[in-house]
Amino acid sequence: MNALLVSAILGVLLMLSSVFIKNKSYIHTLALAGLAGLFMLNLAELNGWLLFEIDLKGMLRFDRYALVMNAIMLASLFFYLLLSGRAMEKVGPHYADYLALLFFICAGLFMVTGYASLLILFLGIEVISIPLYILTGSDKRNLKSNEAALKYFLLGSFSTGLLLLGIAFFYGARGNFSATVSVDPTVVGSSLQLASLLLLLFAMSFKVSVAPFHFWTPDVYDGAPTVFTSFMATIVKVALFAAFVRLFEDTFSLQFSIWQPWVAGFVVLTLLIGNLTAVFQQSVKRMLAYSSIAQAGFMLLAVYAINGDSKEGLLLYAASYSLATIGIFAVLSHLQDYTFDGFNGLAKKQPVVAASLAIFFLSLAGIPLTGGFLAKLFMIKAALAYQPWLAIVAVIMAVVSVFYYFRVIQAMYFRSADDQEMMPEFPKSFPILLLVTALLVVLLGIFPETLLGLLYF
C-alpha cells in the first residue's frame, strides 16, 4: 500500500518537475531517488510498517507474495532507469513526462499484483495500458512507432473489452467482484461462471502475449522506442503474470480441471511459436520480441501448475528474466545496427559489455550458474508434477532457444567487425552498471535463497 500511493504522488511531482527543473540529469536523479524511496517503503511494508492506515474495504490485499513481487519489479525498474535513463532522452523532448508516465504505470503494477477485487484488476490493467499506448507512440516522427501505438491501442482495447465482459459475467454468477473462492455449488457449475472464466483467461493471455493471442507483440515491441520496449517486455509482463497466477490460484481454483488443459495448450503453442519464429529473425530487437513470447510460455507454466514450486519459480523468473532483458535492451538502444551483425566484434572493443551480455543471454537460455537456469528448473519441476510431456516440450524448446541467443554471443566473440566506425560508444559508467546487473543475475543463480527467503520471514 505504501508504494502504491507514493508512486502516484511521485508521478504527479515528476510531471510538474519539468516546469521547475531544466537540467535533465537532475530529473533523472530525482526519479532514481524516488524509486529508491519506493523500494524502501515496500521493504518496510514487508516488515509490517505502514505509512498510512487506510481501510481497503477488501479491494486490495498486499500479501507477502505481492510485496516480494513488487520489490523485484522496483529493483528491476531501478536498474532499468540506471541503464536506460539517458537513452530515454533521445526519444523525444518530454523527458520528465516519460518518467511521470513510468511512475503512473508503477501504481498500476502494484494494483494488479495486489488486487482482491476484479474491479481493481481492471483498473490496474487500464492504468498500465493507457500510459503504455502513449509511450509506444512517443517517437512521433517515426512511422513504425505510430503504427505500433495504434495497433497496440486497438488490440489492447479489444482485449480490455473481453476482460470487462468476463468481469461482468463474473458479477452475474456471483453477485460481487471479490476475487476469492466461491464454494457455492450453484456458482461453481454455472455457465456464467464458465464464460467469465474463459473470457478472463483469454484477456489475460492477450495481456501477457501468450499464443494464440500474441500477434500484437512482435510489431508493437519492434515499433516502440527500444527503451520502452524494454520496460513493456519485462516489468509490465511479470506483474501481469503475477496477477494471472493470483486469479487462477484463488478465484478459479475449483474450476482447475476446466482451465488446466486450456493453459497446457497455450503453453505448448506459445513455446513452439515463440521459439521457432525467433530462430528466423534477422533483427535482434524482433528476435527479443519473439523471445519474450517464448519466455512467457515458460512463465505460463506457473499458471498451469499452481503449486509452491511454480510460485517461487515465478519470482525467480521475474527477477532473472527482467534483469537480463533490461540489460540486453539497454545495450541495444546504444547500437545503430539492430541486426546480429551489429554485435560483431563487440568483445574486442568492449570486453565488459560483451561479457555482461553473454551472461544475460546464457541466463535467458537457461544455462546453469545463472538465475535463468534455476527459474526454468523450478518451472519444469512444477510442471513435472502433472505432465511429463509438457516438461519435455519445454526443455526441447529451451534447446531451440540456444539457436537464437547464441547467435549474438557468436557475433560478439567469434566474428570480427567489418567496420570499426559503426562500433557503439557507451557512457563511462555504463559498462560497470551493466556488469553489476549481470553479477546480480549470476548471484540469483547461485544463492536464490536470499530472494526466496523474503517470502517466508
Partner 1 sequence: MVVLLLLLIPLIGACFLFLYKGDYRFASNAALRVSLASLLVMGARLFYWNTPEMLTFSVPWLTSLGSSFSLRMDGLGTMLSILTTASYFLLFWYLKDRSIERPATFFAWLLLAQVGMLGVFLAIDSLLFYFFWELALIPMYFLASQWGGVRRIPVTFKFFIYTFLGSVFMLIGILYLQSKTADHSFALESIKKIRLSSDQQSWLFWLFFIAFAIKLPVFPFHTWQPDTYEESPTPVTAILSAVMVKMGILGLLRWLLPLFPIASYMWGDVVMSMAVVGIVYASFLAMQQTDLKRLVAYSSIAHIGLMTAGAFALNNMAYQGLQLQLFTHGINILGMWILADLIERKMGTRKIDSLGGIAQQSPTLTIFFVIIALANIALPLTNAFVGEFLLFNGILATPSNYYWVFAGVGGLGIIFSAVYTLKMIRAIFYGEVNAITQKPIVLESHECWVLSVIVGLILFFGIYPQPLLDMTADFSKELFSLTDITSLFRKS
Please give the residues from 181 up to 210 whose contact with partner 1 meets the rule CB under 8 A.
Answer: none
270-309 footprint of partner 1 as x/- string (CB under 8 A) = ----------------------------------------
Secondary structure of residue 178 in the 3-state scheme: strand
29-68 footprint of partner 1 as x/- string (CB under 8 A) = ----------------------------------------
Between CA 388 and CA 394 the distance in angstroms is 10
Taking Cα atoms as reference points, which of 166, 173, 439, 422 lies closest to residue 320? 439
Q: What is the amino acid identity at position 71?
A: A
Q: Report if residue 443 touches partner 1, rule: CB under 8 A.
A: no
- Residue 357 CB, nearest distance to partner 1 (Å)? 14
Q: Where are the alpha helices (DSSP H) in 224-350?
A: 226-231, 237-246, 256-279, 284-304, 308-332, 346-349
CB nearer to partner 1: pick between 167 and 408: 408
- Residue 340 CB, nearest distance to partner 1 (Å)? 12
Q: Which of 55, 421, 425, 449 binds partner 1 (CB under 8 A)?
A: 449
Span from 15-23, 255-263, 338-346, 390-398 in contact with partner 1 (CB under 8 A)? 390-398
Span from 52-60, 73-81, 267-275, 397-405 in contact with partner 1 (CB under 8 A)? 397-405
Residue 278: which residues within 8 A CB-CB, separation 6 or more? 287, 290, 291, 293, 294, 401, 404
CB nearer to partner 1: pick between 395 and 439: 395
- Cis (ω within 30 of 0) for the bond into 218? no
- Residue 414 CB, nearest distance to partner 1 (Å)? 5
Between CA 247 and CA 178 the distance in angstroms is 11
CB nearer to partner 1: pick between 111 and 452: 452
CB nearer to partner 1: pick between 176 and 410: 410
- Residue 407 CB, nearest distance to partner 1 (Å)? 9
Angle, helices 388-414/284-304, rounded to nearest 10 degrees: 160
Q: Which of 395, 427, 439, 450 binds partner 1 (CB under 8 A)?
A: 395
Contact 86, 28 (CB under 8 A): yes
Q: How many residues does the chain have?
A: 457
- What b/e sequence results for 416-444 when a residue is b if at least 16 CB atoms lie within 10 Å of its CB, and e otherwise? ebeeeeebbebeeebbebbbebbebbbeb
Q: What is the amino acid identity at position 305?
A: A
Sign of CA dihedral 195, 196, 201, 203: positive
Between CA 432 and CA 352 the distance in angstroms is 8
Q: Which of 245, 398, 441, 444 binds partner 1 (CB under 8 A)?
A: 398
Instruction: Tell me the Cα Rg of the chain.
Output: 21
CB nearer to partner 1: pick between 349 and 415: 415
Q: Which of 14, 173, 267, 391 binds partner 1 (CB under 8 A)?
A: 391
Q: What are phi and psi of 53, to 5 degrees?
A: -100, 105
- Residue 381 CB, nearest distance to partner 1 (Å)? 5
CB nearer to partner 1: pick between 120 and 315: 315
What is the DSSP track for 278-295? Answer: HHT-SBHHHHHHHHHHHH
CB nearer to partner 1: pick between 181 and 384: 384
CB nearer to partner 1: pick between 122 and 413: 413
Secondary structure of residue 169 in the 3-state scheme: helix
Between CA 264 and CA 41 the distance in angstroms is 38
Q: Report if residue 175 touches partner 1, rule: CB under 8 A.
A: no
Secondary structure of residue 251 in the 3-state scheme: helix
Taking Cα atoms as reference points, which of 163, 138, 152, 443 lies closest to residue 320? 443
- Residue 315 CB, nearest distance to partner 1 (Å)? 12
Please give the residues from 359 up to 388 whose contact with partner 1 meets the rule CB under 8 A.
Answer: 362, 367-369, 374, 377, 380-381, 384-385, 388
CB nearer to partner 1: pick between 69 and 444: 444
CB nearer to partner 1: pick between 167 and 393: 393
Q: Which of 16, 40, 399, 439 binds partner 1 (CB under 8 A)?
A: 399
Please give the residues from 403 up to 422 whose contact with partner 1 meets the rule CB under 8 A.
Answer: 403, 406, 410, 413-415
Binding site for partner 1 (CB under 8 A): 312, 362, 367-369, 374, 377, 380-381, 384-385, 388, 391-392, 395-396, 398-399, 402-403, 406, 410, 413-415, 448-449, 452
